[in-house]
Every structure is written in C-alpha cells, then in structure tokens.
C-alpha cells in the first residue's frame, strides 16, 4: 500500500465505515476497465470528478456513476454553482491526489461534494482509494456519510 492509500484508509476508519481496498493492475485507467477487473457494472464505479468553482476558485467534487457524464448546465441550474474544468495541478494542490486516484475523502482541503443520484441504483459502489489503481467498496449511504455530500441528478 502507498501512503495515499493509508491516508484514505485512516479517514474511513475514523468514520467507522466498513470498507475493502483492492489494488488493481496498473492498466485499469477507465471506469469500464475497473468494472471489468472488479466483476461489477460500470455504473457501480463512483467517479471522483474535480471541478473549479468559477465564483471563488475552490474545488468542487462531483461523484457520479461510471459511464455517465455530468451536465454542467444542469449543475448550475440545480445548485447555482458555475463550474469549470480543473487541470492536473489544481486537482493535486486542492485534493492531494493525482487525477484518476482522487478518493471521495481525505483531501488536503475540505471540498463541497455533490453526489449524482445514479449511484443510488446499486447496493454497493467502488471509488478510488488514493491512487489510480486502488479502489474501495462501500454503499451509496456510506458515500453520503463520509462526504457529507448532497444528492442531485446531474447525469446527461
């Protein structure tokens, strides 16, 4: 395990959430490939997407199901947030993790978190555990607990 995995695991333990971390092959860089490696549906992969809030330059985390896209116009309509793309440097500085390995917890700074309702279609989901090749399993209810995120239907 890498230091970033241990940081995520410590955070999950503090929430007293039961979890299982798996290390996948280094070639698993898409939700589809992760789902194949885990033997689950692609929509059970909870993607961590970091956006730049154009109003205050803060990072916003949107968790959505693999295989779906976030409609930023819909995000603005539902939340009033105007979000833009975040580059790799912005993501790393705000979260402490590289793109592809951003977990839903244990960030450098607290993040406003929005959760796509599509993740509620499953009893268990998988999210990044601090590196691009690591994931952990949880329920959608646990995701909401550990992130204090709000549920919206953002998928387009």
Residue of 22, 25, 31, 23 lying closest to 49 (CA atoms):
31
111 phi and psi, to 5 degrees?
-120, 140
> What pTM did the predictor assign?
0.94
Reported as a single tens digit per residue, the pLDDT across 107-151 is 998 999 999 999 999 999 999 999 999 999 999 999 999 999 999
Domain hosting residue 53, numbered range: 3-152
Whether the pLDDT of residue 82 is over 60: the answer is: yes
Q: Considering its fold, how many domains does the chain have in total? A: 1
Whether the pLDDT of residue 53 is over 60: the answer is: yes
Please tell me the predicted confidence (pLDDT) of residue 20. 82
Domain of 37, CATH number, reads 3.90.960.10
Please tell me the predicted confidence (pLDDT) of residue 156. 56
């Amino acid at each position: 395990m890498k230091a970033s995995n241990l940081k995520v695991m410590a955070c999950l333990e503090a929430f007293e959430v039961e979890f299982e971390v798996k290390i996948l092959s280094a070639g698993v860089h898409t939700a589809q490939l992760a789902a194949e490696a885990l033997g689950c549906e692609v929509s059970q992969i909870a993607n961590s997407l970091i956006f730049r809030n154009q109003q205050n330059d803060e990072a916003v985390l949107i968790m959505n199901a693999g295989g779906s896209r976030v409609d930023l116009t819909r995000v603005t309509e539902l939340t009033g947030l105007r979000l833009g793309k975040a580059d790799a440097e912005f993501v790393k500085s705000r979260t402490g993790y590289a793109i592809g390995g951003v977990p839903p917890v244990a960030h450098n700074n607290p993040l406003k978190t929005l959760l796509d309702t599509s993740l509620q279609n499953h009893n268990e989901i998988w999210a990044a555990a601090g590196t691009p090749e690591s994931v952990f399993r949880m329920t959608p209810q646990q995701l909401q607990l550990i992130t204090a995120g709000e549920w919206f239907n953002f998928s387009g």
